[in-house]
Amino acid sequence: MKKSGRLTVVGIGPGAAEQMTFEAVRAMEESDVIIGYHVYVDLVRDMFPDKEMLSTPMRREAERCEMAIREAAAGKDVAFICSGDSGVYGMAGLLLEMTDKYEREQKAPLSQEERIEVRVIAGVTAALSGAARLGAPLIHDFAVISLSDLMTPRSLIEKRLRAAGEADFAVVIYNPSSRKRADYLARACDILLESRSPDTVCGTVRSIGREGETKEICTLKELRNRQVDMFTTVFIGNSSTRRIGGRMVTLRGYEAERE
Amino acid sequence: MKKSGRLTVVGIGPGAAEQMTFEAVRAMEESDVIIGYHVYVDLVRDMFPDKEMLSTPMRREAERCEMAIREAAAGKDVAFICSGDSGVYGMAGLLLEMTDKYEREQKAPLSQEERIEVRVIAGVTAALSGAARLGAPLIHDFAVISLSDLMTPRSLIEKRLRAAGEADFAVVIYNPSSRKRADYLARACDILLESRSPDTVCGTVRSIGREGETKEICTLKELRNRQVDMFTTVFIGNSSTRRIGGRMVTLRGYEAERE
Domain-by-domain residue ranges, chain A?
7-124, 127-258
How many Å apart are CA A75 and CA A52, to the nearest integer? 14
Amino acid A254: pLDDT: 57
Specify the pTM: 0.96
* CATH classification code of B127-253: 3.30.950.10
**Which of B86, B93, B141 is facing A145, going by the closest CB pair?**
B141
Kindly state the percentage of chain B with pLDDT values over 70: 97
When comparing pLDDT for B256 and B75, which is higher? B75
Give yes or no for residue B257 having a pLDDT over 90.
no
A154 to chain B, any CB pair closer than 8 A? The answer is no
B150 near B179, Cβ under 8 Å? no
pLDDT value for A259: 42
CB contact set of B163 (below 8 Å; sequence gap of 6+)? A163, A164, A166, A167, A169, B143
Chain B residue numbers touching A253 (CB-CB < 8 A): 151-153, 156
Kindly report the backbone phi and psi dihedral angles of residue B66, in degrees, each rounded to the nearest multiple of 5, phi listed first: -60, -45
How far, in Å, CA of A135 to CA of A179, rounded? 30
- Interval B174-202: pLDDT, tens: 999 888 888 999 999 999 999 999 999 99
Instruction: List the pLDDT tens digit at each of the 259 positions of chain A.
Output: 679 999 999 999 998 899 999 999 999 999 999 999 988 899 899 999 999 999 987 778 899 999 999 999 999 999 999 999 999 999 999 999 999 999 999 988 899 999 999 999 999 999 999 999 999 999 999 999 999 998 899 999 999 999 999 999 999 999 998 888 889 999 999 999 999 999 999 999 999 988 899 999 999 999 999 999 999 999 999 999 999 999 999 998 655 554 4
Predicted pLDDT of residue B256: 54
Using CB atoms, which residue from A21, A133, A162 is nearest to B21? A21
Residue bearing the bigger pLDDT, B38 or A205: A205
Is A127-258 a domain of CATH 3.40.630.90?
Answer: no
At residue B253 the predicted structure's pLDDT band, cuts being 50, 70 and 90, is low
Q: Which of A25, A128, A249 sits opposite B125 (nearest CB)?
A: A128
Tell me if B10 sits within 8 A of B123, measured CB to CB: yes
Q: Is the pLDDT of residue B259 over 70?
A: no
Could you tell me which CATH number the domain at A7-124 has?
3.40.1010.10
Is B1 a residue whose pLDDT tops 80? no
CB B142 within 8 A of CB A144: yes
Beta-bridge partner residues of B37: B56
Write down the pLDDT at residue A258. 47
Checking phi first, is residue A95 left (phi over 0); if not, alpha (psi -120 to 50) or beta?
alpha
Q: Counting beta carbons within 10 angstroms of the beta carbon of residue A256, is it exposed (0 to 12), middle (13 to 18) or buried (19 or more)?
A: middle
Question: Which of A217-226, B70-79, B207-216 is predicted least confidently?
Answer: B207-216
- The pairing of strands A241-244 and A247-250 is antiparallel
Nearest-angstrom CA–CA distance, A162 and A168: 10
Rounded Cα gap, residues B205 and B248, in angstroms: 12
Q: How much is the pLDDT for A59?
A: 72
Residue B59: band (very low, low, confident or very high) from pLDDT cuts 50, 70, 90: confident
Is this complex scored with an ipTM above 0.90?
A: yes
Which A positions 18-77 lie with beta carbon below 8 A of chain B?
18-23, 25-26
A215 vs A131, A197, A233, B57, B224, CA distance in Å? 11, 22, 10, 36, 42
Cβ partners under 8 Å of residue B128, min gap 6: A11, A85, A87, A88, A122, A123, A124, A125, A128, B138
CB contact under 8 A, B96 and A251: no
Q: Could you give the CA distance from residue A9 to residue A85 in angstroms, rounded to a whole number? A: 9
pLDDT at B151: 86
Put simply, the chain A residues between 176 and 235 with a CB less than 8 A from any chain B CB are none
pLDDT for B255 equals 55
Check residue A109 and give its pLDDT.
87
> How does pLDDT run across B106-121, given as a tens digit for each residue?
988 899 999 999 999 9
Instruction: Please tell me the predicted confidence (pLDDT) of residue B258.
Output: 47
Q: What is the mean pLDDT of chain B?
A: 93
Task: Give the SS3 label for residue B168.
Answer: coil
DSSP state of A252: P
Cβ distance B245 to A141 less than 8 Å, yes or no, reads no
